[in-house]
Protein backbone atom coordinates (compact mmCIF):
# COMPACT_ATOMS: atom_id res chain seq x y z
CA UNK A 1 0.00 0.00 0.00
CA UNK A 2 1.30 3.42 -0.95
CA UNK A 3 -1.37 5.78 0.35
CA UNK A 4 -3.34 5.98 3.59
CA UNK A 5 -6.37 8.27 3.41
CA UNK A 6 -7.48 10.37 6.35
CA UNK A 7 -11.08 11.00 7.36
CA UNK A 8 -11.37 14.36 5.59
CA UNK A 9 -10.23 12.97 2.24
CA UNK A 10 -12.68 10.07 2.58
CA UNK A 11 -15.50 12.55 3.20
CA UNK A 12 -14.46 14.67 0.20
CA UNK A 13 -14.48 11.59 -2.03
CA UNK A 14 -17.85 10.26 -0.86
CA UNK A 15 -19.50 13.69 -1.03
CA UNK A 16 -17.84 14.39 -4.39
CA UNK A 17 -16.63 17.80 -3.19
CA UNK A 18 -14.25 19.21 -4.13
CA UNK A 19 -14.40 17.57 -7.52
CA UNK A 20 -10.61 17.67 -7.90
CA UNK A 21 -10.15 15.40 -4.87
CA UNK A 22 -12.63 12.85 -6.18
CA UNK A 23 -11.02 12.91 -9.64
CA UNK A 24 -7.58 12.33 -8.11
CA UNK A 25 -8.97 9.46 -6.02
CA UNK A 26 -10.58 7.81 -9.05
CA UNK A 27 -7.27 7.96 -10.91
CA UNK A 28 -5.52 5.87 -8.24
CA UNK A 29 -4.86 2.15 -8.25
CA UNK A 30 -7.12 1.05 -5.38
CA UNK A 31 -4.70 -1.75 -4.51
CA UNK A 32 -2.35 1.02 -3.34
CA UNK A 33 -4.92 2.84 -1.17
CA UNK A 34 -6.13 2.15 2.34
CA UNK A 35 -7.64 3.61 5.49
CA UNK A 36 -7.00 2.91 9.15
CA UNK A 37 -9.57 1.30 11.40
CA UNK A 38 -9.69 4.62 13.27
CA UNK A 39 -10.72 6.42 10.09
CA UNK A 40 -13.44 3.83 9.54
CA UNK A 41 -14.67 4.41 13.10
CA UNK A 42 -14.79 8.18 12.52
CA UNK A 43 -16.69 7.72 9.26
CA UNK A 44 -19.17 5.30 10.85
CA UNK A 45 -19.71 7.79 13.68
CA UNK A 46 -20.53 10.42 11.06
CA UNK A 47 -23.11 8.08 9.53
CA UNK A 48 -24.80 7.65 12.92
CA UNK A 49 -24.91 11.44 13.37
CA UNK A 50 -26.35 12.10 9.93
CA UNK A 51 -29.96 12.75 9.03
CA UNK A 52 -29.72 10.34 6.07
CA UNK A 53 -28.21 7.30 7.78
CA UNK A 54 -29.27 4.67 5.26
CA UNK A 55 -28.07 6.64 2.24
CA UNK A 56 -24.79 7.57 3.92
CA UNK A 57 -24.18 4.02 5.16
CA UNK A 58 -24.62 2.70 1.64
CA UNK A 59 -22.22 5.31 0.28
CA UNK A 60 -19.65 4.50 2.96
CA UNK A 61 -19.94 0.75 2.39
CA UNK A 62 -19.46 1.24 -1.34
CA UNK A 63 -16.43 3.49 -0.75
CA UNK A 64 -14.77 1.10 1.71
CA UNK A 65 -15.39 -1.91 -0.52
CA UNK A 66 -12.37 -0.99 -2.66
CA UNK A 67 -9.92 -0.11 0.11
CA UNK A 68 -7.65 -1.96 2.48
CA UNK A 69 -8.58 -1.36 6.13
CA UNK A 70 -5.53 -1.40 8.35
CA UNK A 71 -5.77 -2.19 12.06
CA UNK A 72 -4.60 0.36 14.58
CA UNK A 73 -2.22 -1.68 16.67
CA UNK A 74 0.52 -1.11 19.23
CA UNK A 75 3.12 -0.37 16.56
CA UNK A 76 0.87 2.28 15.01
CA UNK A 77 0.28 3.82 18.44
CA UNK A 78 4.02 4.12 19.03
CA UNK A 79 4.62 5.69 15.63
CA UNK A 80 1.76 8.15 16.25
CA UNK A 81 3.31 9.18 19.57
CA UNK A 82 6.81 9.60 18.10
CA UNK A 83 5.71 11.53 15.01
CA UNK A 84 3.29 13.62 17.06
CA UNK A 85 6.05 14.70 19.42
CA UNK A 86 8.49 15.42 16.58
CA UNK A 87 5.90 17.61 14.88
CA UNK A 88 5.04 19.34 18.16
CA UNK A 89 8.70 20.29 18.64
CA UNK A 90 8.63 21.83 15.14
CA UNK A 91 5.45 23.74 15.95
CA UNK A 92 3.30 21.56 13.69
CA UNK A 93 0.79 20.13 16.13
CA UNK A 94 -1.53 17.36 14.95
CA UNK A 95 -4.93 16.84 16.47
CA UNK A 96 -5.45 14.14 19.06
CA UNK A 97 -7.29 11.02 18.00
**Three-state SS for 2?**
coil
Classify residue 77: in a domain, yes or no: no
Residue 14 within a domain: yes
Domain coverage including residue 24: 3-71
Q: What is the CATH number of the domain that holds 62?
A: 3.40.50.1010
pLDDT tens digit string along 1-22? 799 999 999 999 999 999 999 9
Q: How many domains does the chain have?
A: 1
Could you report the per-residue pLDDT of 37-49, keeping only the tens digit for each?
A: 999 999 999 999 9
pTM: 0.77
Contact by Cβ (8 Å): 40, 69: yes
* pLDDT (tens digit per residue) in 62-88: 999 989 999 999 998 898 899 889 999
Establish if 90 belongs to a structural domain: no
Q: CA-CA distances (angstroms) from residue 84 to 22, 80, 93, 94?
A: 28, 6, 7, 6
User: Quick check: is 49 in a domain?
Assistant: yes
Q: Is residue 87 part of a domain?
A: no
Whether 86 is in a domain gets the answer no
Amino acid sequence: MKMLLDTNICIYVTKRKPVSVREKFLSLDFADVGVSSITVAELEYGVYKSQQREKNQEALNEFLRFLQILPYDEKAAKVYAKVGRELEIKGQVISPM
